[in-house]
Amino acid sequence: MPEMNSKMKIALALVPVILMAGCGDKPRVDKPKPRLSADEGTNQPTPAADESKTRLADPSPPITGAFGWTLGQKMPESIQLNFMEGTDLAVYSYKTSTNPPFETIVVGSIKDRTIYMIAGCTTNTGSLQYDVLVDALNLKYGVAEDTRPNDVPTRTWLRPAAGHEVQIRNNSSEGISLSYVDLNVFKSLSDKL
């Protein structure tokens, strides 16, 4: 993937803002939530009986999505999108009790309804919960270093060939957020800024 230009950096800096806009106290739309598949959105290892899906079979599995949503796919027409003022960015969020510890799921799309961001948010800021999530993500995607931008514990897993990333942050004032981003869609959006 090419080096990030300044527009891309600005666009990526908007992800936490979008997350916080979608992680508010009330859901933006009360439409049905997609169901999770067997191995999406869980922190459980794949059963060893299915060798084709074990963690050892593929040390770098693709980052495709989470919480029943897939990066790069289109949002269903039945879902009303809430566009952020002056942008082509839409946010759909809803409360959940089926994806603990996450309380809110946020899905970001662009004007043509292409999903570029999926996130889970919780107000839980416990380091134990964060460590459990990081361990599960390390098992799934490989070990990621703690980068701590602005002293916020942060881990990022990248798949440059696909242009996808996963990032988990534990901000003591905002809680834990886990985001999946399609950098290719995001880049096309940032090129228009």
Tokens of 158: 């990248």
**Residue 190 confidence (pLDDT):** 63
The answer on pLDDT for 48 being more than 70 is no
Residue carrying structure tokens 């949002």: 75
User: Is the pLDDT reported for residue 77 higher than 90?
Assistant: yes
Q: What are the DSSP E strand ranges found in 96-193?
A: 104-109, 115-122, 154-159, 164-171, 175-182
CA 132/CA 12 separation, integer angstroms: 26
What does pTM read for this prediction? 0.70
Higher pLDDT, 32 or 62: 62
In the predicted structure, residue 39 carries a pLDDT above the cut 50: no
CA proximity to 138, closest of 166, 179, 162, 164: 166
Exposure of 190 in the CB half-sphere (CA atoms within 13 A): 19
pLDDT of 52 > 90? The answer is: no
User: What are the sequence ranges of the domains in the chain?
Assistant: 6-30+50-191
Q: CA nearest 93: which of 77, 111, 81?
A: 81
CB atoms within 10 A of CB 167: 21
Local structure of residue 5 (DSSP, 8 states): -
Of how many residues is the chain composed? 193
pLDDT of residue 123: 87
Contact 190, 7 (CB under 8 A): yes
Range of lowest pLDDT (67-71, 79-83, 130-134, 183-187): 183-187
Mean predicted confidence (pLDDT) in 98-114: 92
pLDDT interval class at 68 (50, 70, 90): very high
Q: 192 pLDDT band (50/70/90 cuts)?
A: low
Other C-beta atoms lying within 10 Å of the C-beta of residue 10: 12
Indicate if the pLDDT at residue 117 is higher than 80. Answer: yes
CB 137 within 8 Å of CB 190: no
**Ranges 26-30, 102-106, 140-144, 165-169: which has the least confidence:** 26-30
